[in-house]
């Protein structure tokens, strides 16, 4: 598959435009019509729920790293890193999803879909499964 420089440049400009919205949300007002405020507030509540999830993942990562010293080092570090990276990705995804939804509502478009909730759920399921295996196999040092 050959990708043209023009296509890559266009994609980078689109990404830069979305990231710019993260830091200048007032620019969203220039796009389309103002939606019913209840929808904007619901979008904000969803954003805050994603941030709470991100904070919980980061807290869980630190808890695993600090409070499970009897777990084999490689498993403890792996689980902690997966949770910490998941928290960072969740926070970034929250702001991106908020901006995309707000823009779509103002334009009267369908709300954007995302695979991120599925990936997050599968990742957390994998971490939980790894911990079940670790506990069941007795990989915690005594």
pTM of the entire predicted model = 0.78
Q: Of the candidates 61, 87, 88, 78, which has an alpha carbon nearest to the alpha carbon of residue 130?
A: 78
- The pLDDT assigned to 133 comes to 85
Q: Which residue has the tokens 């707000």?
A: 102
Query: Is the model's pLDDT at 90 over the cut of 90?
Result: yes
3-state helix, strand, coil in the chain (%, to 5): 80, 0, 20
Q: In the structure encoding, which two tokens stand for residue 38, read together?
A: 């209840």
Instruction: For residue range 32-87, list pLDDT tens digits in order.
Output: 888 898 999 999 999 999 999 999 999 999 999 998 888 888 888 988 999 999 99
With beta carbons less than 8 A apart as the criterion, state whether 113 and 51 touch: no
Q: What is the arithmetic mean of pLDDT over 2-19?
A: 78
């Amino acid at each position: 598959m050959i990708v043209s420089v023009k296509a890559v440049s266009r994609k980078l400009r689109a990404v830069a435009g979305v990231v710019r919205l993260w830091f200048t949300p007032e620019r969203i007002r220039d796009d389309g019509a103002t939606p019913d405020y209840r929808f904007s507030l619901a979008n904000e509540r969803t954003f805050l729920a994603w941030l709470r999830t991100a904070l919980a993942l980061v807290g869980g990562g630190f808890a695993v790293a600090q409070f499970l010293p009897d777990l084999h080092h490689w498993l403890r570090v792996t689980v902690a890193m997966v949770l910490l990276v998941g928290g960072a990705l969740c926070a970034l995804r929250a702001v991106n999803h908020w901006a995309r939804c707000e823009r779509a509502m103002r334009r009267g478009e369908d709300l954007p879909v995302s695979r991120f909730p599925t990936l997050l759920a599968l990742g957390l399921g994998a971490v939980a499964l790894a911990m079940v295996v670790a506990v069941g196999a007795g990989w915690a040092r005594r």
